[in-house]
Amino acid sequence: WLVRGSQRDVVIDAGLGLRSLPDYLRDAGLLAPAEGAGPRPLLAVATHVHFDHSGGLQHFEEVAVHSAEAQALLQGDNYEAVTWLSDREVARPPRPGWSARQFRVPPVRPSRLLQEGDVISLGDRQLTVMHMPGHSRGSICLHDKDRKILFSGDVVYDGSMIDWLPYSRISDYVASCQRLIELVDRGLVEKVLPGHFNIFGAERLYWLASNYISQAGVCHKISTCAMRSIASIALRVTNSRITS
């Protein structure tokens, strides 16, 4: 998502980074400054460091991520970034001879570490950081309180919520879903702009969050534990091959 402000623009999640997202935004005229003014600062905020959200951070001068995942980003930890890409997922390779097996999230030094309650000011609008772990340990949402918009990353989207990756945690996810329900109950969210799939409203947000909580029983925890073990082994094997 590109959120334009009077003093700063923010990109929420940066994709794979096979091509430069800032170059695309400039070429498309989406970062055009006001007449007679210089370009506004551009900040990339990663809702979490999974590869499909953080791979493109390398192309930005200013990068923000939650402190819980800052070290993983700085080290280029492709295990925590769950780098798991296949050729069939790439519509157009970035160059001849490129293979998805070569893809890695490169090390990036964050220019800003985010914490619960931090406010990212764009001038005429403010985005409040909400630490919502569960999908990953550093997952965040960004809340535009004035417009009642929630940029939810992978904390919640209109699909099956993934809690079986390395550093996923069901108990954290349940607590985060309880916070989402509270946002709806207090009338603080009317529109959700997620990291995947379609935009949806408060009623759907309430259903998705409450449905996850109701499903997070013993059987779910057992199956999730098994899936996490399989995913962990596969990721270690995959990324060791990439490294070698």
- From 208, 179, 198, 192, select the one nearest 148 (Cα to Cα): 192
Secondary structure (H, E, C), 76-105: CCCCCCCCCCCHHHCCCCCCCCCCHHHCCC
For residue 225, is it within any domain? no
Give a yes or no: residue 242 inside a domain.
no
For residue 239, being part of any structural domain is answered with no
- 38 DSSP 8-state letter: P
**Confidence band (pLDDT; 50, 70, 90) for 243?**
low
**Angstrom distance (rounded) from CA 177 to CA 46:** 20
Q: Which of 115, 10, 116, 18 is nearest to 58 (CA)?
A: 18
Please check whether residue 243 lies inside any domain of the structure: no
> Considering the entire predicted model, what is its pTM?
0.94
Q: State the Cα–Cα distance between residues 84 and 108, nearest whole angstrom.
A: 19
Residue 39 — very low, low, confident or very high, per pLDDT cuts 50/70/90?
confident
Phi-psi region of 76 (alpha: psi -120 to 50; beta: other; left: phi over 0): left
CA distance 10 to 40: 10
Within-domain flag for 42: yes
pLDDT at residue 193, rounded to an integer: 98
Instruction: Name the pairing type of β-strands 42-45 and 191-194.
Output: unpaired
Tens-digit pLDDT profile for residues 148-206: 999 999 999 999 999 999 999 999 999 999 999 999 999 999 999 999 999 999 999 99
Predicted local confidence at residue 242, as pLDDT: 57
The average confidence (pLDDT) of the chain is 94
Among residues of the chain, what percentage have pLDDT more than 70?
95
Report the CATH number that the domain containing residue 110 is assigned in CATH.
3.60.15.10
> Is residue 226 a part of any domain in this protein?
no
Instruction: List the single range of 21-25, 35-39, 87-91, 108-112 with lowest mean pLDDT.
Output: 35-39
Minimal CA–CA distance to 160: which of 110, 223, 104?
A: 223
pLDDT value of residue 122: 96
In a domain, residue 213? The reply is yes
Q: What is the mean pLDDT of residues 126-136?
A: 98
* Structural domain span for residue 93: 2-218
Structural domain total, the chain? 1
Residue percentage of the chain with pLDDT more than 90: 92
User: What is residue 34's predicted lDDT score, i.e. its pLDDT?
Assistant: 58
* pLDDT recorded at residue 216: 94
Dump pLDDT digits (tens) for 43-64. 999 999 999 999 999 999 999 9
pLDDT at res. 10 = 98
